[in-house]
């Protein structure tokens, strides 16, 4: 097998590999999707508070000093 054949086979296996690993660990794909979505939403909330609340408050506080 040459490098191109290995790359083609790796691309063929890539979509199925995470599903097999997640199922092997005891969690279904929908469970993983739910947890990842919840984690992403928490990251978005944290980023919102950082840019809209905490950063402006720190800037005002630094100007006062």
Count of domains forming the chain: 1
**In this predicted structure, what is the pLDDT of residue 13?**
64
Q: How far apart are CA 22 and CA 34, in angstroms?
A: 13
Residue 27 domain boundaries: 3-64
> pLDDT tens digits for the chain (65 residues)?
667 777 777 767 666 667 777 776 777 878 878 888 999 999 999 999 999 999 989 999 898 87
Q: Which residues contact 22 (CB under 8 A, 6 or more apart)?
A: 28, 29, 32
DSSP conformation class of 55: H
**In this predicted structure, what is the pLDDT of residue 41?**
95
**In this predicted structure, what is the pLDDT of residue 8?**
72
**In this predicted structure, what is the pLDDT of residue 2?**
67
Query: CB of 29 within 8 A of CB of 19?
Result: yes
Which ranges in the chain belong to alpha helices (H)? Answer: 3-13, 16-24, 29-49, 55-64
């Amino acid at each position: 097998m040459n490098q191109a054949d290995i790359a083609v086979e790796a691309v063929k296996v890539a979509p199925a590999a995470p599903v097999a690993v997640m199922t092997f660990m005891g969690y279904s794909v929908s469970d993983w999707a739910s947890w990842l979505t919840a984690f992403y939403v928490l990251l978005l909330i944290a980023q919102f508070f950082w840019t809209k609340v905490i950063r402006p408050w720190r800037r005002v506080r630094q100007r006062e000093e």
